[in-house]
Structure 1
Amino acid sequence: MAEVASVGEVASLRAVGVRVGGNDLLRDVDLDLERGEHLAVLGPNGSGKTTLLRVLSTYRFPTRGTARVLGATFGAADLRALRPRIGFVSTALDDLLHVRAAALPLVAAAVHGGLWPPPHVLDDAEVAAAARWALARVGAGHLAERRVDTLSQGERQRVRIARALVGDPDLLLLDEPFAGLDLGGRESLLADLDAVLAEPGGPTTVLVTHHLEELPRGVRAALLLREGAVVASGGVDEVLRDAPVSRCFGLPVRVQATDGRFVARAVVAT
């Protein structure tokens, strides 16, 4: 008999492992994600963060364990039906975002899962309105008519996120959304993401990063990964402390929290 998802459950992983070419990318990962809960996944390079996102996106099947996303159990349901309900933002879309297309039709194309805007995509008033709203949600409404290959890295990232939001997903996956941004770009995008995370009925969000400084205030749960295994998981006030973060990154770290934001610094011996 297939497992039944609990009310409010977005994802449930039990002892999930992913093994590729003799290497364990994930090992015995447990995760419970509830609707409206926003989760940060942190860890050093090669710790399995992006692999975990790919499992949650339904594009990577676990080698071991059980996984359920948006009520569908891997191996017992057609996961393709879930994918329009999942927004996935990754720099893997860089090639797409160098094209000579304006932001608005490129975002509109994502309403139906398209990568390239078909002719007359904006003739549908509802599609055009949804694209404009998605851009506005991430502070990019003024970029609607701008060609994407002329935008800065931060502006392109806003277009990526708008494409992920335009279909009103239940689950939003952000893979290092602040990579390559300067301080101003990071702080501006953080403010806009906090607004998205605070929206009633907005998407449950999982954000992958290396840096505690990149966590929006709306993220209230954290999972630390090292070499594919969970080091700690739970509320941010419990997980983002000196000892767990030090174990995760393999060096003595001091973590400070101020006004809902976190900062981590290596402890220098004197």
Structure 2
Amino acid sequence: MAAVIELDSVTVLRPGKALLQNLTWTVDESERWVVLGANGAGKSTLMQIVGAQMYPTTGTATILGDRLGAVEVFDLRTRIGHSGTSIAERIPPGETVVDAIVSAAHAVTGRWREKYDAHDLERAHQIMGELGISTLTHRTFGTLSEGERKRTLIARALMTDPELLLLDEPGAGLDLGAREDLLMSLDVLSTAPGAPVLVMVSHHVEEIPEGFTHVLMLREGQVVAAGPIEETLTALTLGRTFGMRLELEQVGGRYTARRAAFGHRAR
């Protein structure tokens, strides 16, 4: 089974602080990972490394078979899809949803003079249908709800048929209904034939789609636990990750967590 991500003893140092410390992590092509951790745990730094946007201070990072520092990163980045607030902030409010998605084919935000062929538009509409946002085709990006924006950004990230898709807190800011719609879309995507390898960052176990197979848990730039989600995600490892005693429940492939009551043992 081919490794899509291989990090070996990766450390990222900034003045006065180690953002990541001696992190070793491997993601194979059949796996779907969620990365859990509190604010400041190193999740965003990790995604910048995996997205070929940052180099490790020490250690090696090999993404899609190419080692950072020994490859042209601009070519590598075209093989990686990314969905996050940094992309949303660059899309003009007056851009239609279909244009916001199809413009990813030229790696731009905001259509200008670039030309798109029938294949580009066909693919954009296909992805929109799969994510349940076909009715938004001619809506402008600035009029979308937060949930509609999140699914539009995922559709945009899929436009170039990436081998690796990075989802940076896709559930942030969503109400319950929008979150459930998003998770249903991600569950379908994670199990679809030919889908890219998915890595999703989150603060909340409630946002983990059913189709995800593995979990990486970070605290202060270090790995607390990593492995198959059913074996690795426990009240003990989750408590260590967030620095408190927690209770964890799983029902039908979905998780919920809460602080353990005083005098009760987390299970």
- 1:185 and 2:178 aligned: yes
Shift of 1:98: 5.0
Q: Which amino acid aligns with 1:85?
A: R
Shift of 1:141: 1.2
CA–CA distance in 1 between the matches of 2:11 and 2:114?
A: 45
| 1:1-270 aligned within 5 A | 7-97=1-91, 99-119=93-113, 121-122=115-116, 124-269=117-262
Shift of 1:94: 3.1
CA–CA distance in 1 between the matches of 2:132 and 2:149?
A: 12
Q: Which amino acid aligns with 1:162?
A: A
Question: SS of 2:55's equivalent?
Answer: coil
Q: Which amino acid aligns with 1:187?
A: E
CA–CA distance in 2 between the matches of 1:97 and 1:75?
A: 30
Q: Which amino acid aligns with 1:33?
A: V
CA RMSD of aligned residues (A): 1.2
| Contact 2:225/2:232, CA 8 A, preserved across alignment | yes
* C-alpha spacing 1:121/1:101, structure 2 compared with 1 (3 Å): farther
Question: SS of 1:96's equivalent?
Answer: coil
Q: State the 4+ residue runs in structure 1 displaced beyond 3 angstroms.
A: 119-122
| Contact 1:36/1:202, CA 8 A, preserved across alignment | no
CA–CA distance in 1 between the matches of 2:114 and 2:239?
A: 53
Name whichever of 54-63 and 111-120 sits farther off: 111-120
Q: Which amino acid aligns with 1:164?
A: A
How many residue pairs end up in the alignment? 263
Name whichever of 146-155 and 95-104 sits farther off: 95-104
* C-alpha spacing 1:154/1:98, structure 2 compared with 1 (3 Å): farther
| Contact 2:92/2:110, CA 8 A, preserved across alignment | no
- Alignment deviations for residues 160-217 of structure 1 (CA, whole Å, 9 cap, x no partner): 1111001110000000001110000000110011111111111000000000000001
Question: SS of 1:265's equivalent?
Answer: strand
CA–CA distance in 1 between the matches of 2:175 and 2:92?
A: 20
CA–CA distance in 2 between the matches of 1:36 and 1:172?
A: 13
Q: TM-score when scaled to structure 2?
A: 0.95
Stretches of structure 1 lacking an aligned partner (at least 5 in a row) = 1-6
CA–CA distance in 2 between the matches of 1:95 and 1:205?
A: 22
* C-alpha spacing 1:127/1:142, structure 2 compared with 1 (3 Å): same
Shift of 1:121: 4.0
Q: Which amino acid aligns with 2:59?
A: G
| Contact 1:12/1:69, CA 8 A, preserved across alignment | yes
Shift of 1:118: 2.5
Question: SS of 1:155's equivalent?
Answer: helix
